Amino acid sequence: MPNPREIPSLDFLKGFDATARHLSFTLAAQEMFLTQSALSRQIKTLEEQVGHPLFVRGHRELRLTEAGAALQPVVRAVLADLARAVTAIRNRHGARRVNLSTTIPFASLWLIPRLPRFRQAHPDVEVFVSADTQLVDLERGEIDVAVRYAPEDRAPANATRLFGERVVPVVSPALLRDRRRPLRKLEDLAGHVLLHLEDPLGRWPWMDWSTWLTSSGVPDLKPAGNLRFSQYDLLLQAALSGQGVALGRSPLIDHAVARGELVMPFPKRYDSPRGYFAMRGAQAAGRTEVRQFIAWLCAEAAAGGDAGPSDPDGGAGANLRQEGQRKGKPRPAPRRSAAARRNAKNKTRINIKSNIG
């Protein structure tokens, strides 16, 4: 039997696995929720315990040494076996749990308002929601289900499509009622503050107000002001509080629209080239609670209405497609009593982890 003192710390091995996969202390530290210096110290300590360097540290380059390359597959296999064993023990002793990884906007705007229904249908299943901007490796064994925001034409082959996405301006009802600043025609946007999602790399051109205004025939419109946000859920919170006009992402905004918390002053909607896809981790195959959760996701997506097909070429601007106009405004759903809201909240156990405030 090996001497326990000769076995490195599990935290050190997890840090080594992340660094070996990313070949970047920065990216590995983000995944481990550590500072770069803390992770670097862990790796240095592990190298001292092993007795050999595990990485070649160059200028803006990180490579595995021969010892590191030999250790990596062993560490990865051990971590995967450990995750499977813990999952099996939980299942045998009735602690049924689904670990979900997804984006912050999907979790806060679409998933959380609907989770009480899953809890009511499956009260013995605990749901852990990890909301993050980083992609996780589904082969590592820590995540059972991932919902990813991906281009329609580049979605993983084993993914289940939940819905596409459409973009439409939204405002709070109070702002729409402001007679001093009407919102009857597109040109009226000049009297309002526009809420922007900061995108310095140009990754989401369909969420850019200049793209939307150009596609709508008012490319030279100058708003009364601009507010910019790094996270979409913060942007939408500003819209809910009446601070300006946002580009809403349906179906992420559908819950707020149904409750009358947001309204759509203009009938034009444009498709984005992305959609939301559910994926199952390799270690989750055969687990009843995982199948139940994915089936529930699909049912909720279908019940909420599909957001429509998206441009397969990922184009924006002139390539955006305009949906046919709808007449009338959506009616707010009846508001539940405070007691009913508290009861629904108490029936749901939700854990949310995010490395962004």
Number of domains in the chain: 1
pLDDT digit string, tens, across residues 200-253: 888 888 899 999 999 999 999 999 999 999 999 999 999 999 999 999 999 999
Please tell me the predicted confidence (pLDDT) of residue 218. 93
**Is residue 16 situated within a structural domain?**
yes
Question: Is 40 part of any domain?
Answer: yes
* pLDDT at res. 198: 92
The answer as to whether 12 is a domain residue is yes
pLDDT of residue 301: 94
Find out whether the peptide bond into 205 is cis, omega within 30 degrees of 0: no
With respect to residue 260, please indicate whether it lies within any of the assigned structural domains: no
**pTM of the predicted protein model:** 0.63
Q: Looking at residue 38, which CATH number applies to its domain?
A: 1.10.10.10
- Span 304-340, pLDDT tens digits: 744 333 332 233 333 333 333 333 333 333 344 443 3
The whole-number average pLDDT for the span 85-105 is 78
DSSP 54-78: -EEEETTEEEE-HHHHHHHHHHHHH
Report yes or no on 19 lying in a domain: yes
What's the domain range around 52? 4-85
| Residue 307 falls inside a structural domain | no
Split at pLDDT 50, 70, 90, the class of 180 is: very high
Over residues 58-83, the pLDDT tens digits come to 888 899 999 999 999 999 999 888 87
15 or 156: which carries more pLDDT confidence?
A: 15
The per-residue pLDDT for range 4-30, each reduced to its tens digit, is 677 888 889 999 999 999 999 988 888
The two three-digit tokens of residue 152, written as one number: 């329609």
Per the domain annotation, does 223 fall within a domain? no
Query: Is residue 346 assigned to a domain?
Result: no
The pLDDT confidence band at residue 145, using thresholds 50, 70 and 90, is very high
pLDDT number for residue 83: 78
